[in-house]
Structure 1
Amino acid sequence: MEDKYLIPISVLVAAALLTGALIYSKISPSQQQAKITPDQTVDSTQNTDQNNNQNTTQPTPVLATGIPGVTSFAVKDDKQICKQDGKPVVYLFSTTWCPHCVWVKPIFDKVAKEYISQNKIIAYHWELDTFDNSLTDAVETSVPKDQEAIYKEFNPSGSIPTFVFGCKYHRVGNGPGREQSNDTAAEEKELRAIFDYIISQP
């Protein structure tokens, strides 16, 4: 009697898995950005109403044009480049479990640490699930509220990875097609181009 149900159940499970795989393969890379759920956000004290409001429609970002080598960052024209101790401030917000974040982490961290060591920028790479800045040797346990506010301002939907350069230039996700083709050189080249640009600005 049990064998009679085993084969149809196995067929249904296999069909469901195949359907899921087909649907996932049809999702475009831009739709594959990870999203932080409310219980994973940097501020776990938010109330439910605030979490439900995260899905509001956002204005279409204006691409930063005219910056040599920069093709995938948007700009907030009404913003001035934020600086700390006379150096532009750069942020990457990600998590340790997001595959897109894991891909870009060594690229971003390498370039950021190089520019930090040359005393050209101030940079933070916040892992929002562990609350650690991966650019320091210390193990942080919280994201400062002012930096959390920057993340929420530039990406209220909570997608990751989120890049914010100089509180003016920003991008959600990795450079188009780079992760899929594992083009780490192109990603590094654009990061260097935007670092150099914001450093050159008053």
Structure 2
Amino acid sequence: MNKKTITMALIAVAGVLVIGALVYLNYPDKSGISGDNAQFGQQIAEKAINFINNNILRGNGTASLVDVGEENGFYKIKFSLQGNEMESYITKDGKFLFPEVINLEETSPVAVETDTTLGSFSVNNGEICKEGDKPVVYFFGSKTCPYCNWEYPIFKTIMEKFKKEVFFRDNMDLQADEDIFNKYSTGGIPTIVLGCKYYRVGSGETGGEEAEIKNITALTCKITGSNPSDICDEVKDLISQIQ
């Protein structure tokens, strides 16, 4: 498991999809802990590591505490996970864990909002990206991410139907195509990119499996020129709704 995947998994499995990645640890107030600040910080850090191992990783690796200190009014913990050194922050009362902190002074400006279409996919007005004469589709995810585990088998089954029409870049638990990931994703997973024309961060679970199958099928037909016809004819009404 690489560092980028670990970071994304910590956020995704903790149920965090937007800024403000908080995990409630339900740790007692400081008044209930004996000892000085250093001892209290050590106890909080150990509590956080136990939470990460038992509730986030759940057997997919083991985190071990490296160091704990104070920074900007938080406890900052460093821990090792499969050869990667990670950092997280905890509020000083020991109640909230931030798997990732965003520095607002260093963050790049948010991209201009794009139009959306079927299945909450964003629309890129550029050209369809191709490998040879085939549109390229990308899936980015991790097996430690429950939303990815819902989306991946659906997406893979659909792409099997288009194997002669598209070039499928399957990046489930792989560190590849980072230029595409960085361009079309906010850093979350799953991320789906269809021909660099339609893209989405997140699963389609809220809409249900049937709707997700139809939406992705129609969007894929849109970038293949409605081929194969036997598959695309079944969703031609949806295709006509796509920008």
TM range (shorter): 0.5 to 0.7
Aligned ranges 1:24-39 → 2 under 5 Å? none
Look up the equivalent residue of 1:16 and give its one-letter code: N
Q: What does residue 120 of structure 2 align with?
A: 72
Tell whether 2:113 aligns with 1:86.
no
Tell whether 2:106 aligns with 1:59.
no
Aligned ranges 1:10-159 → 2 under 5 Å? 16=26, 55-65=107-117, 70-77=118-125, 79-116=126-163, 119-127=164-172, 130-131=173-174, 143=176, 147-155=177-185, 157-159=186-188
Instruction: Pick one of 197, 204, 216 that aligns with 1:191.
Output: 216
* Distance (Å, rounded) in 2 between the aligned partners of 1:102 and 1:176: 11
Count of matched residue pairs:
129
| TM superposition score normalised by structure 1 | 0.56
Q: What does residue 173 of structure 1 align with?
A: 202
* Distance (Å, rounded) in 2 between the aligned partners of 1:101 and 1:71: 16
* Distance (Å, rounded) in 2 between the aligned partners of 1:71 and 1:106: 17
The CA deviation string for residues 94-117 of structure 1, in whole angstroms up to 9 with x for no partner, is 11100000001110000011211x
* Distance (Å, rounded) in 2 between the aligned partners of 1:151 and 1:114: 24
Greater helix share, structure number: 1
Where does the alignment leave 5 or more consecutive residues of structure 2 unmatched?
Answer: 1-24, 28-78, 85-101, 227-243
The answer as to whether partners of 2:136 and 2:196 remain within 8 angstroms in 1 is yes
The answer as to whether partners of 1:63 and 1:74 remain within 8 angstroms in 2 is yes
SS of equivalent residue, structure 2 residue 26:
helix
* Distance (Å, rounded) in 2 between the aligned partners of 1:149 and 1:52: 22
* Distance (Å, rounded) in 1 between the aligned partners of 2:170 and 2:196: 14
Look up the equivalent residue of 2:183 and give its one-letter code: E
| TM superposition score normalised by structure 2 | 0.47
CA RMSD of aligned residues (A): 2.8
Look up the equivalent residue of 2:171 and give its one-letter code: W
Q: Based on CA coordinates, which of the two structures has the bigger radius of gyration? A: 2
1:109/1:192 CA distance change after superposition, 3 Å: same
1:105/1:120 CA distance change after superposition, 3 Å: same
Structure 1 residue 55, shift from structure 2 partner: 4.6
Identity of aligned residues (%): 32
* Distance (Å, rounded) in 2 between the aligned partners of 1:112 and 1:81: 17
Say which structure, 1 or 2, has more relative contact order (CA 8 Å, 6+ apart): 1
Structure 1 residue 122, shift from structure 2 partner: 0.6
The CA deviation string for residues 101-154 of structure 1, in whole angstroms up to 9 with x for no partner, is 0001110000011211xx111111202xx32xxxxxxxxxx52xxx21011111
Greater strand share, structure number: 2
SS of equivalent residue, structure 1 residue 63:
coil
Structure 1 residue 52, shift from structure 2 partner: 6.2
